[in-house]
Structures are given as C-alpha cells and as structure tokens.
C-alpha cells in the first residue's frame, strides 16, 4: 500500500470515527446544553469530512454547477465546529457570559461572511484548496488568511480551556479524554500554521501531505477524546436510572401511605431521560422517601424497634445489614398502621430508625436508602408483621404490581 492509499485509509477512518462518536453522544445530548452542543459540534465536523470525501464533493460540485463549492462548505463547517467547541467549553467553565458570546459569534460570523464573499468575488484559477494562483495579496489570499487566523486562534483558545478544564476534572477517564482533546487542539494549531505556509509556497507537495496528515491525526485525537468524555456521563446516567428504579418499591409504598409528600407527577420514560428531568425526579424521589420516613415516625410503637432488632439478629442477618433490616420492619409496621387508619400509639418510639435517612452527599444517601429498599422487600419483614399480633392485617396492604414509573 503506497503513501496516498494510506492517507485514503486514514481519511475513511476519520469519517467512520466521527459519525460513530456522534451517534454514541446522541442519547446524552438531550440531558444538558453542553452535551447537546458537543454532540452538534461532532456532527458538524462529520458533515465537513463527508463533504471532503472525493465522490461526495464531486457530486456536490456537479449538482451545484460551481467549481470547488465543496471546499467552501467544508471550511465553513470547520469554522462552525471550532465555534461550537469553544461555546461548549465556555458553558462547562461557567464563562458563557453575554460578552464572551458576543466576541465568539462576532468572530465566527465575520470569518464566515468574509470567506463567502471572497469565494463569490474572485476564485481566479480554482483549485481544491482555494489557494491564490500566485503569491501576493489577492481575494483568495485574504480568504485563506481569515480562515487560518480564525482556526488557529480558536485552537489556541481551545487548548487553554481544555487545559484549564483538565485541572478541574474529578474523573480519571475525563482527565485522559481532555488530554486527547488538548492534543487535538495542538494539532489544529499546526494545521493552521501549515495552511498559512501554503500561501507562500503554493501547492507544495510536502506541505500538502503534512497538512493532510496533521488534520487527520488531529481529528482522530478529537474523536477519541470526545468518546472518552462521554463515558462519565453515561456512567452517571446509568447509575441514576438504576438507583431511581431500585428505590421505586419503597417510594411507591411510602407515597401510597403518605400521599402528601409527592410533589412531582410521573413524566414518562423519555421525558425523564431528557433535559435533566431524570436527575430532578431522582432527587425528588430521595427527598420524598426521607419525608415519608419522617411522616411515619408517629405510628411506630415504642416497643417495636428493640423487638425488630432482636428478631433480625435471631435471623442471622449479615452484620452490615442489621440496621437496614430492623428499620425495614419498623417502617412496615408503621406503614400498615397508617394505611389501616389506626390511631397513633400512646407510647411512640423517640428515634425509631437506626440508620440515618440523610448522608453527606446524594451518592451516600442513595447507598443508605438502597440498603433499606432491599431489606424492605425481604420475606422476614412480612414474617415479623404476621407474628407481632398483626396477623389480621391483610397482606394486600402492600401496593400491587409495579408500574412503569
């Protein structure tokens, strides 16, 4: 395989990688503005590389009847790609102010309009790189100068912002992805420098080869970094949804017994996954479970917690699950009393729960409540309730089939 065949393989690999990353990022793109913009940027660059593919570019030229229009479109899409990347970084770093937006869109708009005007006004002897026919000041010289100034400046800004974001990243995977993206920005700076060199050494084969290799390698680094940066978001999405479902049986029975604690109605599967709605609903579920535990305290007789603890210890429950198991029994006794409308007992347990419903972070709080939710579904809960003079209470007091909340 000769060198130019290897370049063709590298180009095809870039095209496949960009579209693959774009598809992978679509499910998380609807969860936040920066994820949406990052996904849009990858799609825009994938379109740029698709147009640059010779058969596609030739078809566009033939249909439009304008020579090398595909090069203009490719360059405009690359400018848009750089602008979207900077915008996503500004949002992530809390620098998306009106002033920064105005600077970004003014530079991007000026660059795009200047390139369109230059292409329309004078194309001299058109070539696939839209370079002027000879060195010196010309319309196409100004076209390329504006293009390389914008792309070079955008990559310098991107390199600085990626490095700054990397210092703040908590996830190891995210830090690695940002190193790839920083390297991609560095390659983008080299690309702009090589493109500027072509203005003084027109159509130099060595410079053109170096330009293409730098561009392809930079895009592969960008695809790899973008793919890795999506992994923490996917991990968070999966953890949130699984925890949301794991807490459902406990939440369902608590809200049935104390309906006043529910503030947000069911939104449906797709709406819960979009626009951060799942995060909000999950946080509300944790709060509502906590409120339900508090609301049922007054229905816990004073003698139940010690009896429940002794009962659990006799069942030889693992030591790390004793507190959750005892609390699950206490909770079920109180819940059934509330559902059946029984009056509050004369002697109420002062602190009925052995575990704390709150934690220093949402993650630790969910871990605590998940243990309670697992223990709540164990058979010894029903066994205790049946043995503790509650055999007249129907088992149907628990809610029925789990619906798709």
Cβ atoms of 49 and 255 within 8 Å: the answer is: no
Least confident of 1-5, 26-30, 122-126: 122-126
C-alpha to C-alpha distances, 264 to 277, 280, 402, nearest whole angstrom:
11, 9, 18
pLDDT in tens, 292-351: 888 888 888 888 888 888 888 887 666 667 888 888 988 998 888 888 877 667 666 667
pLDDT in tens, 369-401: 998 999 888 888 888 887 766 544 444 344 433
Q: How much of the chain, in percent, has pLDDT values that exceed 70? A: 84
Average pLDDT rounded to a whole number, residues 4-33: 87
- Token pair 């906590």 is found at 290
Is the confidence at residue 359, as pLDDT, over 70?
A: no
Torsion region of 204: left, alpha or beta (phi above 0 gives left; psi -120 to 50 gives alpha): beta
pLDDT level of residue 208 (50, 70, 90 thresholds): confident
pLDDT for the residue numbered 39: 94
C-alpha to C-alpha distances, 342 to 65, 126, 337, 398, nearest whole angstrom:
84, 89, 5, 16
pLDDT level of residue 273 (50, 70, 90 thresholds): low
Q: Which residues contact 86 (CB under 8 A, 6 or more apart)?
A: 104, 154, 157, 158, 161
pLDDT for the residue numbered 222: 95
Q: How much of the chain, in percent, has pLDDT values that exceed 90? A: 32
**What angle (nearest 5°) sits at the alpha carbon of residue 388, between those of residues 385 and 392?**
70
> 348 forms bridges with which residues in the sheet?
301
Structure tokens at 328: 């699950």
pLDDT for the residue numbered 33: 84
Q: Among 197, 106, 198, 192, which residue's Cα sits nearest to residue 152?
A: 192
At residue 111, φ and ψ (nearest 5 deg) are -60, -50
Cβ atoms of 76 and 112 within 8 Å: the answer is: yes
Q: Among 364, 379, 252, 389, which residue's Cα sits nearest to residue 307?
A: 389
CA 4/CA 400 separation, integer angstroms: 67
pLDDT level of residue 74 (50, 70, 90 thresholds): very high
pLDDT for the residue numbered 403: 34
pLDDT for the residue numbered 405: 33
Average pLDDT rounded to a whole number, residues 228-255: 88
Average pLDDT rounded to a whole number, residues 129-146: 79
Least confident of 16-25, 273-282, 285-294: 273-282
pLDDT in tens, 78-108: 999 999 999 999 998 888 899 999 999 999 9
Question: Where do the DSSP E strands lie in 50-145?
Answer: none
Q: Between 345 and 157, name the one with better pLDDT.
A: 157
pLDDT for the residue numbered 399: 43
C-alpha to C-alpha distances, 367 to 82, 249, 250, 374, nearest whole angstrom:
41, 15, 14, 11
Average pLDDT rounded to a whole number, residues 126-136: 69
Average pLDDT rounded to a whole number, residues 174-201: 92
C-alpha to C-alpha distances, 209 to 3, 147, 155, 179, nearest whole angstrom:
10, 19, 21, 25
Is the confidence at residue 357, as pLDDT, over 60?
A: no
pLDDT for the residue numbered 402: 30
- For each of the domains in the chain, give its residue range(s) and CATH number, in order of start: 3-233 (1.20.1070), 247-397 (no CATH)
Average pLDDT over the chain, rounded to whole? Answer: 83
pLDDT for the residue numbered 304: 85
CA 326/CA 394 separation, integer angstroms: 21
Q: Among 342, 355, 341, which residue's Cα sits nearest to residue 305?
A: 355
């Amino acid at each position: 395989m000769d060198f130019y065949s290897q370049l063709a393989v590298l180009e095809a690999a870039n095209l496949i990688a960009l579209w693959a990353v774009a598809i992978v990022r679509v499910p998380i793109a609807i969860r936040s503005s920066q994820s949406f913009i990052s996904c849009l940027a990858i799609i825009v660059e994938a379109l740029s590389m698709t147009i640059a593919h010779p058969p596609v570019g030739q078809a566009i030229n033939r249909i439009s009847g304008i020579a090398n229009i595909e090069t203009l479109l490719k360059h405009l899409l690359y400018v848009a790609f750089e602008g979207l990347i900077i915008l996503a970084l500004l949002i992530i770093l809390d620098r998306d102010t009106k002033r920064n937006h105005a600077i970004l869109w003014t530079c991007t708009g000026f660059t795009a309009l200047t390139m369109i005007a230059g292409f329309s006004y004078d194309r001299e002897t058109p070539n696939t790189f839209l370079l002027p026919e000879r060195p010196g000041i010309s319309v196409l010289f100004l076209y390329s100068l504006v293009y390389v100034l914008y792309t070079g400046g955008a990559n310098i800004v991107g390199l600085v912002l990626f490095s700054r974001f990397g210092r703040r990243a908590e996830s190891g995977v995210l830090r690695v992805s940002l190193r790839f993206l920083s390297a991609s920005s560095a390659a983008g700076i080299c690309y702009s420098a090589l493109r500027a060199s072509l203005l003084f050494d027109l159509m130099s084969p060595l410079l053109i080869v170096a330009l293409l290799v730098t561009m392809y390698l930079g895009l592969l680094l960008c695809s790899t970094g973008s793919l890795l940066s999506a992994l923490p978001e996917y991990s968070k999405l999966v953890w949130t949804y699984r925890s949301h479902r794991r807490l459902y049986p406990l939440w369902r029975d608590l809200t049935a017994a104390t309906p006043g604690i529910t503030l947000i109605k069911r939104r449906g599967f797709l709406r819960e996954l979009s626009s951060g709605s799942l995060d909000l609903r999950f946080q509300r579920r944790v709060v509502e479970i906590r409120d339900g535990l508090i609301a049922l305290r007054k229905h816990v007789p004073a003698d139940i917690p010690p009896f429940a603890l002794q009962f659990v210890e006799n069942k030889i429950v693992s030591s790390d699950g004793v507190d959750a198991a005892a609390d699950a029994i206490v909770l079920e006794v109180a819940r059934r009393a509330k559902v059946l409308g029984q009056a509050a007992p004369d002697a109420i347990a002062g602190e009925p729960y052995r575990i704390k419903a709150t934690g220093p972070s949402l993650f630790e709080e969910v871990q605590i409540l998940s243990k309670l939710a697992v223990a709540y579904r164990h058979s010894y809960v029903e066994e205790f309730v049946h043995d503790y003079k509650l055999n007249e209470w129907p088992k149907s007091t628990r809610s029925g089939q789990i619906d798709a909340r």
